[in-house]
Amino acid sequence: MAATTVSTASRGAADNAPRAGAEKRRGRGLDKYYPLYFHLPAALFFVILFLVPTLASFYFALTRWTLFDMEFIGLDNFAQFFKEPSLVKGFANTFIYAFVTSGAKVVLGLALAVLLTSQVFGRNYLRSVVFFPVLVSTIGVGVTWKVLLDPQDGLVNRALAVVGIDGPGWLTDPGLALFSVAGVDVWKGVGLATVIYISGIVAIPHEYVEAAKVDGAGAWQIFKNITLPLCRPATVTVIILSLIGGLRSFDLIWTMTRGGPGFSSDVIASVIYKQYQAGFYGLSTAGNVVLFLVIAVIVIPLNMWLNRKGNRS
């Protein structure tokens, strides 16, 4: 523990020194960066696989497109998309899902990270246990949990029955389905948040904790006044990552409920996918443009705000 802390801290200091020298040596303007052709392969991939499809989708969103023929219809697709009955529900669900999973990952991730950086028995084993679900394919997780959460034969409700509780239809109750999926999402994703928090906590210089202990601070005071403020960058990363993940979440919801029962667990991404399934290619592209803009409008200011606060502290 002490050794890691020292090495991370000293590496941070060592990084800064040569970087200042290198900037002086490389000159001004573009010259101070790596040669342009270094970027070429990455730029090629970026342009072909990201920029061209993105720009094309902005155009296709304005057409009625059946794959066989295409008709330019202006903003009709957007008007239609916003009339979509399941869309309002989808938007509300997306935000609920994103905030629930994001919040739970911050709280649980931090709690687990504090636990797993303390002198707990079998620490390394526990760390791998917590991280393990991150490695499993989302589809696999969804299928497995769908079986486990089956109201009649699922392991979860059978276990509850042993202690005399009549378990609900986790995925078939319209009021519960979205939260059940969110719970599985947290189970799967909290390992990543924990790892980010662990690295954040480990990077806090140990001297602060020792000084606080000398002043007579208890465990809670150390956590509140040292750990929590100093791992703010980790919190920012976890919030941003899980919020983006939550806003565009699709795979877990699709494998577990397909947006059902009815439309009760539909999110924006599943509404869009259903348009694509139905063969409404222009309409679903319009939906993707909307989703792209919504995520950008939420995440970019949030990122700037969180980072500014982080820098100030």
Partner 1 sequence: MSIRKSVAVLAVVTVAGALGFGACGSGAESADGVTELSIYIDSDPSSIALWDPLVESFNSSHEDIRISYETHPSGSEGDNLIKTRLSTGDMNDLFWYNSGSLLKALSPDSMLVDLSDQDWAGKVDDNWVQAASTDNGMYGLPVGASFSFGMIYNKDVYAELGLETPESWDEFMSNNEKIAAAGITPVVQTYSDTWTSQVMVLGDAANVLAADPDWADNYTANKAKYAAEPAFAGFQHLQDIYDAGYLNDDFASATYDDGVRMLAEGAAAHYPMLTSNVSAAIGENYPDADASLGVFAIPAEDAANTTLTIGTPNGMYIPKTTQGEKLEAAYELLDWLATPEACTVMGSAITVGGPFVIDGCELPATATSLVEDMTPYYDADNTGLALEFLSPIKGPSLEQITVQVGSGISTAVEGAALYDQDVEKQAQQLGLEGW
Q: Does 262 bind partner 1 (CB under 8 A)?
A: yes
Q: What H or E segment, with its residue span, contains residue 41?
A: helix 40-46
Q: Does 258 bind partner 1 (CB under 8 A)?
A: yes
Task: Print the SS3 string covering 145-214.
Answer: HHHHCCCCCCHHHHHHHHCCCCCCCCCCCCCCHHHHHHHHHHHHHHHHHHHHHHHHHHCCCHHHHHHHHH
* CB 59 to partner 1: min, Å: 17
Residue type, 89: K
* CB 264 to partner 1: min, Å: 7
- Return the DSSP state at 63: E
Which tokens is 39 given? 């970027």
Which tokens is 174 given? 């319209």
Which tokens is 55 given? 């720009």
**Among positions 86, 94, 101, 235, the unique one binding partner 1 when judged by CB under 8 A:** 86
- Looking at 18-26, 148-156, 178-186, 192-200, which segment touches partner 1 (CB under 8 A)? 148-156
* CB 175 to partner 1: min, Å: 10
Based on CB atoms, which residue is closest to partner 1, 197 or 263? 263
* CB 218 to partner 1: min, Å: 49
Q: Does 171 bind partner 1 (CB under 8 A)?
A: yes
Q: Does 38 bind partner 1 (CB under 8 A)?
A: yes
**Among positions 183, 276, 292, 302, the unique one binding partner 1 when judged by CB under 8 A:** 276
Q: Does 33 bind partner 1 (CB under 8 A)?
A: no
- Looking at 25-33, 44-52, 95-103, 201-209, which segment touches partner 1 (CB under 8 A)? 44-52
**Among positions 277, 311, 312, 313, the unique one binding partner 1 when judged by CB under 8 A:** 277
- Return the DSSP state at 30: G
**Among positions 60, 61, 62, 80, the unique one binding partner 1 when judged by CB under 8 A:** 80
**Neighbouring C-beta atoms of residue 63, cutoff 10 Å:** 20
Report the phi/psi class of residue 136: left, alpha or beta, with left for phi > 0 and alpha for psi in -120 to 50: beta
**Rounded to an integer, what distance in angstroms lies between the CA atom of residue 92 and that of residue 164?**
35
- Interacting residue ranges for partner 1, rule: CB under 8 A: 37-38, 40-41, 44-45, 48, 64, 66-69, 71, 80, 83-86, 150-152, 169, 171-174, 258-264, 274-280, 283
